[in-house]
Amino acid sequence: MLKLLVPCMIVNTLYDIKLTELKQRGIRGIAFDLDNTIIPWNSPDICPEVLVWLNNLAAQDFKLCFVSNNGKRRVRKIAEQCGVPFVARALKPSRSGFRQAAQTMELRPETVAVVGDQLFTDILGGNRLGMVTIWVKPLTTKEFIGTKVTRQLEKLAVHVLKVTGRL
Ligand SMILES: [Mg+2]
User: Quick one: pLDDT at residue 81?
Assistant: 92
Please provide the size of the chain in residues.
167
Distance, CA of 142 to CA of 56 (rounded, Å): 28
Confidence bin at 113 (pLDDT 50/70/90):
very high
Kindly report the CATH number assigned to the domain that includes residue 90. Answer: 3.40.50.1000
- Our count of domains for the chain comes to 1
Distance, CA of 16 to CA of 151 (rounded, Å): 23
If one compares 147 and 129, the residue with the highest pLDDT of the two is: 129
User: Quick one: pLDDT at residue 1?
Assistant: 74
Which residues have a beta carbon within 5 Å of ligand 1, which is an ion? 33, 35-36, 117
Its domain, for residue 83, covers 3-163
User: Quick one: pLDDT at residue 122?
Assistant: 98
Give the helix ranges, DSSP H, for the chain.
19-24, 48-59, 72-82, 95-104, 124-128, 145-163
Compute the distance from residue 159 Cα to the ligand 1 centre, in Å. 20
Compute the distance from residue 118 Cα to the ligand 1 centre, in Å. 6
Distance, CA of 8 to CA of 77 (rounded, Å): 30
Confidence (pTM): 0.94
Tell whether the model's pLDDT for residue 29 goes beyond 80. yes
